[in-house]
Amino acid sequence: MEFITATYRVPWDDHLAEKAQAIAVSMTVGSWTDLPDARKPHLRRYLGEVGRVVQDGPSGLFEIRYPLDNVRPSISSLLTVVFGKLSLDGAIRLERLDLPEAFAEALPGPAFGIPGLRALLGVERRPLVMSIFKSENGRNLREFESAFEEQIQGGVDLVKDDEIFMADHNAPLVDRIRAARDALSRREARTGQRGLYIPVLSGSPKEILDKALSWVEAGAQGFLVAAYTLGLDVLVDLRRAGISVPLILHPAFAGGQIGSPERGIHPALFLGQLPRLAGADVVLYPSPYGSVAMPKPESLAVADALRRREPRPPLLPGPSAGIHAGVLPQLFQDFGRDIVINAGGAVHGHPGGTRVGAQILVEAAARFEETRDGSLPPQREATKP
């Protein structure tokens, strides 16, 4: 029999082994001792098993092995089984999931990942650079075209919508897709550089599927999805529906799950392992440097989880928030070349304007590509916005 093994962190208790046993029963078959004896043989194959129970300082770690038959091939099913009602049980954090190959293979995984995105954009070595539209709500199509042109003339590889951009009545998405495609085609004809526009994809799960299919047909080159407000299975559904453009995951609404070392879900699992299974190609999440900074060990652990090469292609991490030219040497030193430089304020708030702000970041990425050891040579001084 195959098992999903979940590891949990709780305050240490000398009776933790007994508590773990009670959890293994309640999260799989309900109450073992109260069931009629005649039913126990039938249910035994669904009963959870306790693995190791160890003390880790003031915390305790314990494992529960869930029979694979208890879980359907979806992220919602997995999380409900291993952490559904258990998440309500006070100070407990889901630290790790070890999944059998059969479960991982039943989910779509990324369509592109690092190798596919690099091939799509024609960028072999350096970090990718993505700028973020700001102040989009209410912007008309001409204003969109002007702002988009400034960003791509600065040399960025990708331009994405702000995740809060919903009021697009004056610049409908199909019109933006076509305008961006034309602008990127002109740049490629002139410079040879390829690029992508990543609009935000929002709505109910059914609306998102219908919109995505329609917009890909209209020429959409990728989507930004706030999948933690919808459930990660929206990515699964998009992949299973045949949406074969890059999907960039925004972490909106994830903070309540990853913000505490005592509760919720470890960031490497929630922002790393699960999005890989679901079908993201890039995951944006807090860097260690900004006003919403994630502790560096956890931020690096997310990147490591995204860039593991088995059983799916590695994904591009996008450590975000507080990214500007002044932190790029540290960013490169900490995260290496397989990242997305994701910046908004550093682009649009530069004293020289949007185009110059974009150029500063692109030039820093290009200098990184020229080095062999991952270090940065001296660079010109850049003004922090």
Rama region for 220: left / alpha / beta (φ>0; ψ in -120 to 50; rest): beta
Q: How far apart are CA 44 and CA 355, in angstroms?
A: 64
Q: How far apart are CA 226 and CA 238, in angstroms?
A: 13
Rama region for 98: left / alpha / beta (φ>0; ψ in -120 to 50; rest): beta
Q: How far apart are CA 258 and CA 228, in angstroms?
A: 12
Q: How far apart are CA 169 and CA 367, in angstroms?
A: 40
Please give the DSSP secondary-structure letter assigned to residue 293: P
In this structure, are residues 364 and 355 in contact, taking their beta carbons and an 8 Å threshold? Answer: no
Active site residues: 85
Q: Which two tokens stand for residue 240?
A: 């299973």
Q: How far apart are CA 200 and CA 222, in angstroms?
A: 9
CA nearest 118: which of 355, 282, 299? Answer: 282
Please give the DSSP secondary-structure letter assigned to residue 312: S
How would you list the strands of the sheet with 316-320, edge to edge? Answer: 223-225, 247-249, 282-286, 316-320
Dihedral over Cα of 344, 350, 353, 357: its sign: negative
Q: How far apart are CA 266 and CA 277, in angstroms?
A: 16
Distance of alpha carbon 310 from the chain centroid: 17
